[in-house]
Structure 1
Amino acid sequence: MWLLQPLLLALVVCTVLRSTIGSASGAASPTGGQLRRIWLQDHCTANICTGVEIGRNDYVILSQAPIAKQLMLTFINSSIAKIPHLMFDTFPDLQLLRMENCTLETFEKPQFEGASNLMSLFLGHNRLKDIPKNIFLGADNLATLHLENNLLKVLHNHSFHALKELKDLSLADNQLEQLPLGVFAGLRKLLDLNLAGNRLRALPRGIFDKNLNMTRLSLARNLLATFESELLKLQPRLTLLDISGNILHELTLNFSLLEQVLAHSCDLRRLTVYGVIKELDLHNNSLRELPHIPLASNVTSLDLSQNPLGNLQGNPLRRFTALLRLNLSATNTNELAEGLFKKQTHLQMLDISANTIYSLKITLFDSLKALQYFYFQQNNWNCDFLQLLMSSFVKKRDISFMEDLTAPELVDDYVDGIACWYESDKISKKCDGANSEAALELSIVRNEIKAFTELVEKKFVRVYRMLEEMKLKL
């Protein structure tokens, strides 16, 4: 009997050694997975690792000894269900880690122990569903964290705990429906926050009150139906706000200074802006009047294209004296008042394309001394007026313009590439002696079809949003 004891001991030692140095087909680990050793030297060249496969239940030893002075690591064409437990023991100097499109499913505690040198972490396009509380303990110097295009549905107040140096956070294109009030409270140095492409319907009041250094905020492509006007009042350094693609019929913004606001494709019908704003993108909305901006003299760029503004009455642009770029394309306009641009002496770009304008008073452009780009194609121009416009204004001042794409069979003539029609009592140059009334009727039909198409597109967008909401409820 005593002779069997050394033999049993030898078998145990053999089993342990075989488990420790086994390959991918080694013995089962205590957690039910495989104890595997992955030699990254066989997969990595110049900081790029390819063909690495790590299962969710695998216990992975990346290398026999720490690999020093490895600052960057990028995994491509790899299937990695989790970040290996010993990643930062193996690479103690690692500063940038990319595991994008790697089928990453979960975090394991303590995931970032020893990651004090890590500064940038890119985990986009994976399958993460949750950011556990305190999971980033150890990554004290992380400045950039990208988690876009995952399956995140819930965040906790301590999901980003310990990230006191974080400046850039992307949670875009996930499935977040709500945010806890204190989720960003610890991120005092946060500059750029991207929440676009989620399912947020509202934001808690005060959610950004601790992020006083924030400069860029994107809330685009969510389901916001209301926007708290005081939400960003405490943000003194905010330069860009993007709330495009939400369902905001009426919107009031209140802040001290903002460089750029993107609020296109929201079905907006009324907008009021308090504070200084420089650039405002409002294309593809339902505005029938210009936004109310008491400090409009600071606006340098205004995009109102694809709104049903119609003919602007009076002089609605009189306060927009600093405009450099103005877009009035596809606004259902058929005439422009003579003094409309009287105050726009600094205007460099003007777009009035895709309307139904036939003729204008040439004196309309007298104040536009700084104009460099003028887009006026896709209108119902009278050929005689168009020749005058080109010779006395566009060509005379060497202003850049864009040619028309209208089919030749639908027009009477072209002037320098811009489609036009002759008076009804004149003979068409393009219709072999036929009366140009037919061409004029064709142009009217063309613009009616264009307006109908734009209306159908807007209705389709609304129906699509309703179907998305019903799908979420189901």
Structure 2
Amino acid sequence: MAMLVWPLFGWMVVQLVVLPQSHQLAPPSGNGQLRRLWLQDHCSAGICTNVEIGRSDYVILSQAPIAGTTMLTFLNSSIAKIPHLLFDTFPDLQVLRMENCSLETFEKPQFEGASNLMALYLGHNRLKDIPKNIFLGADNLATLHLQGNQLKQLGNHSFHALKEVKELSLADNQLEELALGVFSGMRKLVELSLAGNRLQALPRGLFDRNLNLTKLNLGRNLFSAFESELLRLQPRLTQLDISGNIVQELTLNFTSLDTVIAHSCDLRRLTVYGIVRELDLHNNSLREMPHIPLAANVSSLDLSQNPLGNLQGNPLRRFTSLLRLNLSTTNAHELPEGVFKKQSHLQMLDISGNSIYSLKITIFDSLKALQYFYFQQNNWNCDFLQLLMSSFVKRKDISFMEDVTAPELVDDYVDGIACWYESDKQSKKCDSGNSDAAMELSVVRNEIKAFTEVVEKKFIKVYRMLEEMKMKL
């Protein structure tokens, strides 16, 4: 019997398919069937569509190597596995995108001949594990995206040979724990995303070899605590995202961070030591301002959707470098007169979605640099609102956003902002809108608005049902 040798080049492999059927030998996989797939029939300018490759197929991609192709993107395709000879067919390939292609498995030697590959995007597939040493051959890979798969665990050798990787995404998998040395070979790693997994804790020393780590995303996991000690050896770290975890008390201790993202964590107390420039803390349970000894370095602070209330005691006095401040939906009925006294650099202020009725107009005197002011969805007194627009907003040409409140729920509009008149005309004073009666009135108005919205939605639903019944009849 004649013996066939499996060579490395596509033009030699193709000789197998021209042999008589009786002389063809089974491919190395044992169960697969040999078939030809001419990619030139499916690909144009680096975009390949309608490619179908089953898990048991042994595919020959082309008659000869196709030089000069540096990028391949597969769209509307079902590819259970990457063909063995893909990188022999495309020896110059640098970027491979097989996202949302139903990829199920890797097969050795999967990346043999892939020394030119720089970026590999395999997100939103069906991968369940990464075999040991599977990436041997992809020595120059710098970007690897594996988000949206079904990975449950990773071993110390899962990413062996990937010494050049700078960006790694493992987001939205099913990882419950990580081996201590899983990232130890990635000395050049800069960006790492572990968001959207099932991690409850990370082993100490996990990032000790990743001294160049700059951005770390741990959002949407199951952490109940976070230790800054995990990142004690990362002097270049600029962005930390721990949003979507249930961490009620958090202490961060870093020399310097550009951005901390900790929204939707049920946070009740936050302490930040060191320098931090941007803080996203929206949708938490904060009833007091975060404790930041070096608050003068903060340029952006988002405290929206926290039950902070009226900010008594001038809690912003240390935040002297703020450029952006978001206080929307913080249960505020009033704001103390000197609350913005130290914010002379502020460019964007958002106090929308509260129940503010009136303020002392002098509260805005220090806001010399303000360019964007969002104050819609409050319970403004119409007289005060006219004063606010004429003496501050319009006079300084500040951008603002109009209300969307239904006309039947308001007394009037001032330049698109909803407002109400006082029922007692003798009490029409811009500075007296913070009384208990005004606050009670604000609460009642909000309840009426919410009730009306519910009724409208139900009416629309019933109306649509009636229309559908009419059409059927």
**Range class of TM-score, shorter chain:** 0.7 to 0.9
Is 1:54 equivalent to 2:88 in the alignment? no
SS of the residue corresponding to residue 231 of structure 1 reads helix
1:330 deviation in Å? 0.5
Report the more deviating stretch, 317-326 or 222-231: 222-231
Show CA shifts across 1:157-189 (max 9, x none). 111111111011111111111111111111111
Summarize the alignment of residues 315-354 of structure 1 with structure 2, pairs less than 5 Å apart: 315-354=314-353
Identify the residue that residue 181 of structure 2 maps to in structure 1. 182
Q: Distance in 1 between matches of 2:438 and 2:255?
A: 53
**Where does 1:206-245 land on structure 2 (aligned, <5 Å)?**
206-245=205-244
Contact 2:357 2:442 in 1 (8 A): no
CA distance in 2, matches of 1:59, 1:212: 42
Contact 1:410 1:443 in 2 (8 A): no
Asked if structure 1 preserves the Cα contact closer than 8 Å seen for 2:126 and 2:150, the reply is: yes
Structure 2 residue ranges without an equivalent (≥5): 5-12, 427-436, 453-473
Q: CA 1:405–1:22 in 2, change beyond 3 Å: closer, same or farther? A: farther
Moved more, 322-331 or 401-410: 401-410
- In the alignment, residue 73 of structure 1 is paired with which amino acid? L
The correspondence for 1:20, drawn from 7, 17, 23, is 17
Number of paired residues? 430
Deviations 1:177-209 (A, max 9, x none): 111111111111111111111111111122112
Q: C-alpha displacement at 1:70, in angstroms?
A: 1.8
Question: What are the superposed Cα offsets for residues 386-439 of structure 1, whole Å, 9 maximum, x if unpaired?
Answer: 111111111111111111112222222111111112222239xxxxxxxxxx99
In structure 2, relative to structure 1, the CA distance for the partners of 1:206 and 1:250 (3 Å cut) is same
Pairs within 5 Å for 1:284-295? 284-295=283-294
Aligned to 2:109: 110
Kindly state the Cα deviation for residue 65 of structure 1 after the two structures are TM-superposed: 2.4
- Alignment check: 8 A CA contact 2:263 2:284 kept: yes
Q: Would the aligned equivalents of 2:134 and 2:158 in 1 still touch at CA under 8 Å?
A: yes
The residue that corresponds to 1:384 in the other structure is 383
Letter in 2 for 1:254: N
SS of the residue 2:40 aligns to: helix
> Which runs of 5 or more structure 1 residues have no equivalent in the other structure?
1-8, 428-437, 454-474
Equivalent positions of 1:161-176 (< 5 A) are 161-176=160-175
Match for 1:363: what amino acid? Answer: T
**Amino acid in the other structure paired with 1:114:** G
- Per the normalisation by structure 1, the TM-score is 0.86
288-297 vs 92-101, which moves further: 92-101
- Are the counterparts in 2 of residues 66 and 89 from structure 1 also a CA contact under 8 Å? yes
Please show how residues 59-74 of structure 1 align to structure 2 within 5 Å.
Answer: 59-74=58-73
Counterpart amino acid of residue 104 in structure 2: E
Higher relative contact order at CA 8 Å, sep ≥6: structure 1 or structure 2?
A: 2
Partner SS for 2:425: coil
CA 1:98–1:328 in structure 2 vs 1: closer, same or farther (change >3 Å)? same
Task: State the distance in 1 between where 2:323 and 2:125 align.
Answer: 42
Does the CA contact (< 8 Å) of 2:102 and 2:126 recur in 1? Answer: yes
Give the CA RMSD over aligned residues.
2.6
Shift of 1:444: 2.7
Give the deviation of 1:440 after TM superposition.
9.3
Match for 1:37: what amino acid?
R
User: Quick one: distance in 1 between partners of 2:450 and 2:212?
Assistant: 44
SS at the partner of 2:231?
coil
Q: Secondary structure at the match of 2:279?
A: strand
SS in structure 1 at match of 2:228: coil
Tell me which residue corresponds to 1:360: 359
